[in-house]
């Protein structure tokens, strides 16, 4: 049990930590751009010329050279585009809905009217005292409620929420794929960079190659894990916060011997994926747009969410139980 003073102390430490995360936000972004930039430079000055050797006599080498160049540039553009969009896109506040929610009334009264249509008494946030739409959570770093809040990410100095989660996930995806690719085509020249008996006539000095390679391995593994985790969340239509809440709800439902808890927002793997990327059947954009570095907003305003039929049937059961 916490005593009031200990709780006060922990809250104080929390507040300081959150303020520090908020203040040093730009430092992480500069660091990330610096590291990705260095890796890109190493790739184009060492790995690329090593792996794609130009030979006038063979059509095939010329073709693979240009194909490799095009692919490499495409990956770099996708990484930086999605990184930029993840940083610059507002995740969605409760009052200022962000890009796709422009049609929403930005006043408090407008928000209440919007939510009252779906819930009799919209919940209120205990920290910012504004109405709290379903799936919204309060970010203690940004000090406001964020729509479909996932987590606050210091690497983008922004919350990951309704309007930028797509960019965040695609950024991770392209970065992880690039790390694997870097390792796959760069491991031979990495070994050469360690062997001082072999010649080194690349523009980038050996230590940079060695360092970038190790970085690609580390980031590939660490971010690969996180990226897979986020795909799991997308496929099951949960945010990181909701995952823990749902685990708790499942456990308490089991303990009470009730019907298994159903995540109301789970529309089935494929539909969850379509909804997240806003592509394919019933959604706005064609599937190939996932592969294009273009701005695409998620469907809906992030305040009101479609529920599955299982949810409605359990809600109905609850109501009939109450009336019995």
- Show which residues are catalytic: 153
Contact in structure between 250 and 242 (CB atoms under 8 Å): no
Rounded to a whole number of angstroms, the minimum distance from the CB of residue 288 to Zn ion is 32
Q: Which is nearer to Zn ion, 126 or 256 (CB)?
A: 126
Rounded to a whole number of angstroms, the minimum distance from the CB of residue 83 to Zn ion is 17
Q: Which is nearer to Zn ion, 149 or 174 (CB)?
A: 149
Q: Which is nearer to Zn ion, 127 or 251 (CB)?
A: 127
Note whether 46 binds Zn ion by CB under 5 A: no
CA dist 193 and 208 (Å) reads 9
Rounded to a whole number of angstroms, the minimum distance from the CB of residue 278 to Zn ion is 23
Stretch that binds Zn ion, among 63-71, 126-134, 243-251, 298-306 (CB under 5 A): 126-134
Note whether 139 binds Zn ion by CB under 5 A: yes
Stretch that binds Zn ion, among 15-23, 82-90, 127-135, 236-244 (CB under 5 A): 127-135
| Residue 236 DSSP SS3 | coil
Q: Which is nearer to Zn ion, 76 or 156 (CB)?
A: 156
Residue 153 Cα distances to 26, 168, 244, 307, angstroms? 12, 10, 18, 28
Stretch that binds Zn ion, among 74-82, 118-126, 195-203, 225-233 (CB under 5 A): 118-126
Rounded to a whole number of angstroms, the minimum distance from the CB of residue 142 to Zn ion is 3
Note whether 142 binds Zn ion by CB under 5 A: yes
CA dist 176 and 32 (Å) reads 14
Q: Which of 267, 321, 241, 123 is nearest to 249 (CA)?
A: 241
Q: Which of 248, 29, 13, 2 is nearest to 140 (CA)?
A: 13
Q: Pick from 6, 15, 88, 127 the residue near Zn ion by CB under 5 A.
A: 127
Residues 50-89 that bind Zn ion (CB under 5 A): none
Contact flags string 183-202 toward Zn ion, x per CB under 5 A: --------------------
Residue 75 Cα distances to 40, 81, 122, 171, 301, angstroms? 10, 10, 43, 10, 30
Q: Which is nearer to Zn ion, 90 or 307 (CB)?
A: 90
Rounded to a whole number of angstroms, the minimum distance from the CB of residue 158 to Zn ion is 7
Tokens 């409760």 locate to: 94
Residue 252 Cα distances to 246, 319, 320, angstroms? 10, 19, 21
Note whether 125 binds Zn ion by CB under 5 A: yes
Residue 214 Cα distances to 6, 171, 187, 191, 195, angstroms? 42, 20, 10, 11, 16
Q: Which is nearer to Zn ion, 162 or 206 (CB)?
A: 162
Q: Pick from 82, 152, 162, 165 the residue near Zn ion by CB under 5 A.
A: 152
Q: Which is nearer to Zn ion, 18 or 104 (CB)?
A: 18
CA dist 13 and 16 (Å) reads 5
Note whether 157 binds Zn ion by CB under 5 A: no
Report the Cα 201 to chain-centroid distance in Å: 39
Q: Which of 199, 179, 225 is nearest to 43 (CA)?
A: 179
Number of residues that bind Zn ion (CB under 5 A): 10
Rounded to a whole number of angstroms, the minimum distance from the CB of residue 95 to Zn ion is 11
Q: φ and ψ at 93, to 5 degrees?
A: -90, 170
Note whether 141 binds Zn ion by CB under 5 A: yes
CA dist 251 and 4 (Å) reads 29
CA dist 25 and 219 (Å) reads 20
Binding site for Zn ion (CB under 5 A): 125, 127-128, 138-139, 141-142, 145, 152, 159
């Amino acid at each position: 049990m916490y005593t009031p003073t200990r709780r006060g102390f922990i809250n104080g430490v929390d507040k300081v930590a959150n303020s520090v995360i908020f203040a040093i936000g730009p430092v992480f972004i500069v660091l990330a751009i610096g590291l990705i930039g260095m890796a890109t430079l190493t790739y184009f000055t060492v790995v690329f010329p090593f792996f794609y050797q130009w030979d006038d006599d063979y059509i095939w080498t010329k073709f693979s050279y240009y194909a490799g160049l095009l692919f490499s540039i495409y990956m770099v553009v996708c990484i930086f585009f999605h990184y930029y969009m993840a940083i610059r896109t507002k995740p969605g506040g409760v009052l200022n809905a962000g890009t796709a929610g422009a049609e929403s009334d930005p006043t408090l009264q407008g928000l209440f009217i919007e939510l009252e249509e779906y819930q009799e008494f919209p919940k209120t946030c205990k920290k910012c005292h504004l109405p709290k739409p379903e799936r919204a959570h309060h970010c203690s770093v940004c000090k406001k409620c964020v729509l479909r809040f996932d987590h606050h990410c210091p690497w983008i100095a922004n919350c990951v929420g309704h309007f930028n989660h797509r960019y965040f996930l695609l950024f991770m995806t392209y970065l992880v794929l690039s790390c694997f690719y870097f390792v796959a085509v760069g491991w031979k020249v990495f070994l050469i960079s360690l062997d001082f008996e072999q010649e080194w006539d690349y523009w980038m000095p050996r230590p940079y190659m060695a360092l970038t390679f190790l970085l690609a391995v580390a980031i590939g593994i660490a971010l690969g894990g996180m990226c897979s985790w986020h795909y799991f969340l997308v496929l099951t239509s949960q945010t990181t916060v909701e995952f823990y809440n749902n685990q708790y709800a499942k456990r308490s439902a089991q303990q009470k011997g009730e019907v298994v808890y159903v995540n109301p927002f789970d529309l089935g793997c494929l539909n969850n994926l379509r909804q997240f990327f806003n592509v394919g059947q019933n959604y706005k954009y064609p599937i190939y747009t996932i592969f294009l570095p273009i701005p695409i907003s998620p469907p809906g305003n992030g305040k009101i969410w479609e529920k599955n039929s299982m949810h409605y049937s359990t809600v109905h059961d609850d109501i009939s139980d109450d009336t019995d």
